[in-house]
Structures are given as C-alpha cells and as structure tokens.
Chain A
Amino acid sequence: MLLVNDLSYRHSESFALEEINLEIKRGEIISLIGPNGSGKSTLLRIISHLLKPMVGTVLLDGKEIQTLGRKALARKLAMLPQIQNHTIDITVRELVEFGRNPHKRWFQSLDGEDERIIQWALEVTNLQAYEYRFLQSLSGGERQRAWIAMAIAQRPDILLLDEPTTYLDIAHQLEVMELVQMLNEQFGMTIVMVLHDINQAAQYSDRIVALKDGHIRYDGDTKKVICKVMFQEIFDIDVEIYYDRHKPFFVPIRKKQDFVVSP
C-alpha cells in the first residue's frame, strides 16, 4: 500500500538518506531500527510528508503523497511525532476531536458520525473515564494513549509512530505496545514505528528494517533480521540471541572487537 522509490534526502554534509526503497504491505507491523543518526526518524518524517525528499517518490495506494494534499493524506495516514510539546489546556476529548480535522471542511462542525468515532477512539485506548481530564494531569502512558486516540480518530489505514515508548516506564511501554498490536489485529491498521528497544521491536513486529548511515541494510522477517551479524554490522556490538515463545530476543555481550590486542 505504501511504496518508497529510490528516495534520497540530504540534511547536511554529514547526514543523508540514500537510495531508500521500501514496500509496506497492508496489515503489516514494521519496526525501523538503527543507531542514533541512522535516518530512521527522517525516513518516517518523509513518508508522512513532514519533509520533502530531494529525489524519489513516496506512493500511497499508487498516488504520490505530494500531490495528494495534506488533508487527503491525513485521512489515510496518521503519525505520532516523537515528543508532543504544547501549552494549551486541552482535555483528552478535545485532543481526540482534532483527529477529525482531516475529515472536515473549515466551516463544518462535528456531527454524529464524528461523535461515534471519537467514542470509539476513547474506548479502544481505554480512556473513556478520562474524557474530560486535562492532558497535563495524565501520566506519561495515559498521555501517549491520548495522542494515539487522536491519531486513530483520523481513521487512518496506516499509523506511523516515532519512538512511542521513549520516556515511559516499562508498564506503560507494554501498554502502548499492546495497544498498537491490538489496533493491528482488530482493525487491520498497518503500523510503521521507529523503536529504540530492539527486543520490543522483535517481540511486536512482523518485519524489521535496519538502517545505518542513511542506508537500509536489512529488511525482512523479524526472525531473519534479528541475528548476530546484524547487531555487529549495524550496532557494532556482539550479542547472544535467544528464543522465547517463538520470538527472538537478544542479550548484549560486549562492544564488537574490531581488532585483537596481543598480550
């Protein structure tokens, strides 16, 4: 459903995405992993049309996202950027209402259909009791769920998440990941996320894309990508891979030994 063709993007002398090709199929959960500065967040921002690529195209259902128009794109694709900083006193409900913005002309107000979707989004994210609470009074995990509720109120086919679990404690991390999994399984939402925690990526995604220095180095089934060689190449570390209930997970051993020092 989403196709990235020969995409390049240069941000500065030292950083560029080059020759990115990626096909995202309907119903997949994909995680982008890679070291800091590898370009995974940038790639996500290009796919969501926050940045324009210098070369190459991004096609959504066969149409170039540039020509689609922001609103039309927002009806199909939702994204949660990394950190949401805002200064307005806004309740959970009001935040979720914003998710209906792409479906409205500027003069239109919310109708029964919107109300139904807002209630659905609150229910799915388990925030009904928080409808009239201020966002700032919520815990980090609840707040993240509220932002996800806003994104799914757009009724997107595809949901992009940029490090959705960063800054959350472990219980809230799991809560968010389980929510994401549920959105995928029950509502068929395609998920593309940038994750720092590779074990989380391995546990929850069907497919993993590993980037380094602006290039895609690995792209495939989770079980295939999570291997010792990948960790050596991408992260310069030696790891041990274990399996638990058919899901791989890794334990870091040490920084990769580039050369042997003789005693």
Chain B
Amino acid sequence: MAERPLNKEEIILGEKEHPYRKRRIGAFVFLLISIVFVSLYSVITGSVKLNLQEVWEGITGTKDSMLHTIVWDLRLPRTIVGIIVGMCLAVSGTIMQGVMKNPLADPGIIGVSSGAALMAVIITILLPKYILLLPIAAFIGGFLTAMLIYALAWQGGASVERIILVGVAVNAVIGASMSAIMLLYSDRVQAVLPWMAGVIGSATMDQAKLLLTYGIPALILSLFAIKHIRILHLGDDVAKLLGHHVERSRFFLIVVSTLLAGIAVSVSGLIGFIGLVIPHILRMIVGNDDRFVLPLSALGGGMFLVLADTIARSWFDPIELPVGLLLSFLGGPFFLYILHKRGKMRAFS
C-alpha cells in the first residue's frame, strides 16, 4: 500500500472524534435544505411563473382550477419523479461501485440500464396491455443483463475493465435489438422516442404514485446494502474471516442496485451518469464510507436530477431539452475527467 503524505488535520494525534464528522453533518444539512429549495424552484418555474402562494393554492384548491392543473397535474409529478428517479440512479451507482470496487461502475455504463430499456421497449411497443408491469419487466431485463455481463466477464474474478468491455459488446447487441424493434414497429415508435433520450416531463400524478410505491421500498431496502458494501470493501478474505457470506451479499447488492436502476429506467428512460457523478463528488467530500455516501447520494441524486430537469426545460426556451440529453452532455466529459484523475486519487488508489 502506497504511503501518502499526511495532511494537517491527520498529524495532530489523539483526535476525539471522526475527522470528517463536521463535513458529513454539513453535507447532510446542505443537501436536505437544497432538495427543498430545488423542489420549490422546479414547481414555480415554467412557461407560467408561479409564486409560493399560487403553488399552495394549486395544491389545496379546487380540482378544476387552472392552478391545480399546473401544479398538481404537471409540475408536482415531474418534481416527484425527478427526486425518486435521481435517488434510485445515484444509489444504484453507489452500490455498483461498492460491489465492483471501482468508481467507474454505473448502471448506464455496465449495461444494466440498456437491458432494462430493452424490456421496457418490448413492453411499450409490443405488449402495451402490460404497461403496469413495466417496472418489474425493466428490473428483470436489467438483472438478466447484469448477470450476463458478470458471467461473461468472469475469469476467476471480474475485473472492471473486463466488465466494461463485455458491457460494450452486450450494449451493442441490446441497442441493435431496440433499433430493430423500433424499425419494425415504426408506427408505434413515437411512444418511446423521447423516453430513449431520458425524460421525466410527461410524468402524470398516477405515474408518480406508482413510482413512489416501487421506489420508496427499494430505497429503504438499499439502506441494508450499506453494511454489506462496507464489509466487502475489506476484501473477500477478511469479510469471510469475520463470518460474512461474501457471495450471498454480492448477489443481494447486485439485485438491489439493478432493482433501483430498473425502476428508474422504467419511468424516465435512459438517464445516464447520475449514478457516476453524484457518489463520486460525495466521496471526495465526506470520504469513501458508504454509511454516508449512500444516503447522501440519494439526497444529492434527487436534488441534482430535479435541478438539471428544471434547467433543461426552462433555460433553452422555446425548446424543452430532455434532461437525459443534458446530463449526457455533462456526464461524458466528467467520466473522462475521472478516468484521468484515477490512480492519483486516494479514495480508490
């Protein structure tokens, strides 16, 4: 293990509390406050600017008022979907990075998202009757893809380089299948096109409610992942020696992260890079400890997606940019930046 020069706070001996305690508390407070403000900002922003009082009237007012339509039917679902999808994606990325022990793991990059997307395209175009099963189908598609990639990359261990390379190949096949389906059924393709670019704009209150019923339990389940990730980080040998069932928890973690990615994809389509960017920034701030990175990622991911979506729909007037598109524009370069910095960084050196 390479020695690293000590920084100032570490030289002082006999600390009485965790050196990152203050910034961890700070990060929680900051994200909690900002998620509230960003949500309000997204509700008041749009072609019709609202003030807080009008928002309140929209929520409490009569069903057929215009304010109610704007707030309850258009803006609020969008904000709720943004928060939950952002949370699911960021937490999914956090867990995948933990299982793979690599900061570049992300449902989009690994190919889990496209597997989920393929199933969603099949349901939407070929079997629209079963649209309510979309989240489950997306989960199954994502899970099968994750397992396939894991199995194909396995060579006495699955290095992330192999996983990414296998992911590229599997992604190509899945992408071609999606294109084929869309070509063959070009009359029905309108339903999925915006979804391919990643949108949360068309969300209805019913969709938001459906997402809440799937997403909240999955997010609560993800809290149980923390302990497993931390112990796996000690290495398989040490984890086993501490009485831990390594294979069991790795399977559990893959299931949970795929579930979260599948839920997100089923609602919002292909929104990339949140699972990569948010945990990464948080690790730099609060240290690489998933007890903090995972819940903070949830807050950060929800906040960030709502913020990005609000920007994507209001700053480029009159075009409403799909938020997935905007994030890919930002996320691609960020990914390269991490690749460049990797190895220099303590957290994953």
Contact = CB atoms under 8 A, between A and B. Distances in A.
A91 B346 CA distance: 14
A70 B289 contact: no
Contacts of A66: none
Contact of B10 (A50, A75, A137): A137
A71 B243 contact: yes
Contact of B244 (A81, A101, A134): A101
A78 B241 contact: yes
A106 interface: yes
B17 interface: yes
A15 B52 CA distance: 74
Interface string B79-109: 0000000000000000000000100000000
B241 A98 contact: no
B230 to A, nearest CB: 7
Contacts of A49: 240
A86 to B, nearest CB: 5
Interface stretch (A125-133, A194-202, A246-254): A125-133
A133 B101 CA distance: 23
Contacts of B101: 87
Nearest to B19: A132
Contacts of A102: 242-243
Given A70-B240, A134-B10, A84 B234 contact: yes
B1 interface: yes
Interface string A83-98: 1111111110010001
A154 B242 CA distance: 8
Contact of A88 (B1, B3, B19, B230): B230
Nearest to B291: A94
A232 B213 CA distance: 72
B231 interface: yes
B6 interface: yes
Interface residues of A, number: 41
Given A98-B234, A132-B15, A133-B15, A89 B289 contact: yes
A73 interface: yes
Interface in A151-165: 154
Given A70-B243, A137-B10, A87 B347 contact: yes
Interface string B323-346: 000000000000000000000001
Contact of A129 (B14, B19, B238, B290): B14
Contacts of A36: none
A4 to B, nearest CB: 18
B188 interface: no
A243 B255 CA distance: 61
A190 interface: no
Contacts of B289: 88-90, 94
A137 B231 CA distance: 20
Contacts of A84: 234-235, 238
A81 B238 contact: yes
Contacts of B10: 133-134, 137
B206 interface: no
B22 interface: no
A129 B233 contact: no
A44 to B, nearest CB: 11
A86 B15 contact: no
Contacts of A106: 227
Contacts of A70: 240, 243-245
B18 A132 contact: yes
Contacts of A98: 231, 234, 242
Given A50-B241, A81-B241, A87 B348 contact: yes
28 contacts: A50-B240, A70-B240, A70-B245, A72-B243, A74-B243, A83-B1, A85-B1, A87-B101, A87-B233, A87-B288, A87-B348, A88-B234, A89-B347, A91-B19, A98-B234, A101-B242, A101-B243, A102-B242, A102-B243, A132-B15, A132-B17, A133-B10, A133-B13, A136-B1, A136-B4, A136-B346, A137-B4, A137-B10
Given A88-B290, A98-B231, A137-B4, 9 more contacts: A70-B243, A86-B235, A87-B288, A89-B287, A101-B244, A106-B227, A131-B14, A131-B15, A143-B1
Interface of B: 1, 3-4, 6, 10, 13-20, 101, 227, 230-231, 233-235, 237-238, 240-245, 287-290, 346-349
